[in-house]
Amino acid sequence: MSTTMTANHWADAKCAKAFWSQSELPVFHALTADTLAAAYPDAATAAGKRVLDLGCGGGTLTRGLWERSAGAVGGILGVDYAAANAQRYEKLAAELHAVGRIAFDAVNFSHGLPTLPSADFDCVLSGLSITYAEHYDEAAGRWTQQAYDGLFHEVFRVLKPGGRFAFSVNVPNPSWWTVGLTSVFGALRRSPKPLRLLKNLNRMNRYGRWLKRQADLGRFHYLPAEQVAAKLAAAGFTAIGHTLSYAGQAFVFHADKPVGGAS
């Protein structure tokens, strides 16, 4: 494989910081709200819960859950491949007066979640992230879905029995322009730094083209909803359901670990 082919921009600070601007888009606000509602339809039930934000980025879901529960959530651990997100989380924890209850760890979840204990979380959240679990089979000379499938099993393992997995994934062949054009003008009017937002939106679009090229090679996984549901079932999840969000460009799934589910 060439260096260009194997480079993973998700680890780059520039990429991470560009995608922080997603939180300024109204369609992303809707996606965040839909994901949190899938996790805790009644916000009061989040009180005292320990939550993992998987592929957390700049912490949009973490902030949303904290505010939705009025700070009653037990604690949130954000994990992400990009170490640059640590500074974002440090600032977020201070801003929300949640130091010690909101934390960050740099984790490449393509290799699973080996540092996290089994049955430790009441809920796992993820926003447009698990698609990018990657595995290259050197012997076969191709990308596979091994890391993607394995991540479902790892989420099942770290959830407590009765716990919930709520996450979003892009639809097959997602249109980044549809996402941008749906809300960019309103976002630019409201943004305190519209030129920075415009610059980051352009960067996100460039990274989006890279993501789709890599998906065409089998590296990343924009799958039909029925395939995602089948993978969840194969990992042991039940009560699986999904809705459309993100201007029709993402599925929001929810799935439960049975009360009698083995770790």
With a cut of 70, which residues of the chain have pLDDT below it? 1-6, 9-11, 13-24, 177, 179-205, 207, 261-263
pLDDT the model gives residue 52: 98
CATH code where residue 59 lies: 3.40.50.150
- Residue 263 falls within a domain, yes or no? no
Two structure tokens written together for 250: 């993402």
pLDDT the model gives residue 3: 41
- Residue 262 falls within a domain, yes or no? no
Rounded CA-CA distance 202/221 in Å is 23
- Residue 53 falls within a domain, yes or no? yes
pLDDT the model gives residue 4: 45
What SS3 string covers 102-143? Answer: EEEEECCHHHCCCCCCCCCEEEEEEECCHHHCCEEECCCCEE
Count of domains forming the chain: 1
Does the pTM of the predicted model rise above 0.75? Answer: yes
pLDDT the model gives residue 135: 96
- Residue 49 falls within a domain, yes or no? yes
- Residue 34 falls within a domain, yes or no? yes
- Residue 15 falls within a domain, yes or no? yes
Domain range holding 197?
A: 3-256
Bridge partner list, 251: 169, 244
- Residue 9 falls within a domain, yes or no? yes
76 closest CA partner among 126, 28, 110: 126
pLDDT the model gives residue 16: 61
